Chain A
Amino acid sequence: NAGVTQTPKFQVLKTGQSMTLQCAQDMNHNSMYWYRQDPGMGLRLIYYSASEGTTDKGEVPNGYNVSRLNKREFSLRLESAAPSQTSVYFCASSVVGTQNEQYFGPGTRLTVT
């Protein structure tokens, strides 16, 4: 099992450009999450999806959109990137009810200039 995979690992964008971060899991998990990690602020939840076809906002959703394409895949889109979105982005997944452990992907380092 690959677990949770994310692409790309690194990305540099110019202000105003758009891009989609991809996330996939092969553990048959129901729930998937997108977090961002900024220095000195820990990880903050952007969006989550409790099941295929459902998505909900987290703590910091502004400037982002998500798509739960199927049970395996959960993408994060930046429509018009801003320097404030420079961060490390983590995708995670979990199975409801199994001690609630979230499994994290390796992260994507995004820089917006």
Chain B
Amino acid sequence: AQTVTQSQPEMSVQEAETVTLSCTYDTSESNYYLFWYKQPPSRQMILVIRQEAYKQQNATENRFSVNFQKAAKSFSLKISDSQLGDTAMYFCAFMKYFGNEKLTFGTGTRLTIIP
């Protein structure tokens, strides 16, 4: 079974600064996907970024980027030029390549952007 660990329950940062959210995972699989989901106060789950394990290049989406370290089983999310709208819960999630697309989530990090 896979496990996903987010060791930072809460974080806060000043607007326009850069923040990094940590995620580690444990698996015996060699092929898998990793995701970061955002959940704002509206409760809607929104996909922020995904990473395929076979790709060495780190994924980026505008102000969001990841640092994927496969050997260390680490998958951190960096948010650059943080904005008030980035205030949300952030969940790291794991999916096996051939696992019926079932997601295993971490416990989340509550991020607050301070004006």
Contact = CB atoms under 8 A, between A and B. Distances in A.
Interface string A70-113: 00000000000000000010101010100111101011000000
A58 interface: yes
A68 to B, nearest CB: 13
Interface residues of B, number: 20
B100 A48 contact: yes
B45 A99 contact: no
A56 B100 contact: yes
A44 B45 CA distance: 14
B100 A101 contact: no
Nearest to B44: A106
Nearest to A108: B43
B64 to A, nearest CB: 15
Contacts, number: 50
A27 interface: no
- A: contact size bracket: 20 to 34
Given A42-B106, A43-B105, A90 B100 contact: no
A96 B99 CA distance: 10
B45 A90 contact: yes
A12 to B, nearest CB: 17
Interface string A35-47: 1000011111100
Nearest to B4: A42
Given A50-B100, A56-B100, A44 B107 contact: no
A54 to B, nearest CB: 10
Given A100-B33, A104-B45, A106-B44, A40 B100 contact: no
Contact of A100 (B4, B42, B101, B105): B101
Interface of A: 31, 33, 35, 40-45, 48, 50, 56, 58, 88, 90, 92, 94, 96, 99-102, 104, 106-107
